[in-house]
A and B are shown apart, each in its own frame.
Chain A
């Protein structure tokens, strides 16, 4: 889940298991959300996005769920692989003229062999 401060929350799962990463976003006016994956030494890489008129979207091995009532976003990764080990960020765009993304602090996902 989200963290405030210096320490990233860590989620450790066994290879092949499913993982769920949670994010509590801040702005109730946000209407577009993205999940990014960041591997060590690299820039954030787009995984999947969802607009506020949807509550679920699926990609390849990934599913994003949006609960606007409680301002909660989650990323589900099915059948995790070693290459899924990374830091995952949720980002929100509040629209209304604010074009940049506001990023969460990130969750460190570790895939155990």
Chain B
């Protein structure tokens, strides 16, 4: 079975550019989570969806970040405009249900903003 799929795997962009990260959760999973990983702060939850509806976006750092989930099999995380401090690895994870469920992570998108 395919796990969580993320694209692109690597992204290098210049400051000020728009960046769009994509995620396809595991089929049948109802919850989707976006995390960011940096050396300074470790793994941090940015936002999560349940049944395609955003539930909690309190982890989204700034208005420059936005996330959508137009259907059960696709989500995007957009940064506009990007800044060098956004450089990190962004992970998408999915789980069957919202709480007390194992979250399965994708391979991540390594973003470098110059």
The chain A residues found within 8 Å of chain B, CB to CB, are: 6, 31-32, 34, 36, 42-46, 49, 51, 89, 93, 95, 98-106
Contact = CB atoms under 8 A, between A and B. Distances in A.
A89 B50 CA distance: 24
Contact of B98 (A31, A44, A46, A99): A99
> Considering residues A44, A100, A103, which has the most beta carbons from chain B within 10 angstroms of its beta carbon?
A100
A100 B106 contact: no
B25 interface: no
A99 B107 contact: no
A93 B44 CA distance: 13
Contact of A32 (B31, B44, B100, B104): B100
Contacts of A42: 107-108
Interface residues of B, number: 26
Contacts of B42: 103-106
Contacts of A32: 99-100
Given A6-B40, A99-B31, A106-B42, A51 B100 contact: yes
Contacts of A100: 33, 45, 48, 56, 59
B2 interface: no
Interface string B85-111: 000000101000011101111111000
Interface of B: 4, 31, 33, 39-40, 42-45, 48, 50, 55-56, 59, 91, 93, 98-100, 102-108
A34 B40 CA distance: 22
A108 to B, nearest CB: 12
B50 A99 contact: yes
B90 to A, nearest CB: 10
B39 A6 contact: yes
> Considering residues B33, B93, B103, which has the most beta carbons from chain A within 10 angstroms of its beta carbon?
B103
Contact of B105 (A45, A49, A99, A102): A45
B91 A44 contact: yes
26 contacts: A6-B39, A31-B100, A32-B99, A34-B103, A36-B105, A42-B107, A43-B108, A45-B105, A46-B103, A46-B104, A93-B99, A98-B56, A99-B31, A99-B33, A99-B48, A99-B98, A99-B99, A100-B48, A100-B59, A101-B33, A101-B45, A101-B103, A102-B45, A103-B42, A103-B43, A106-B42
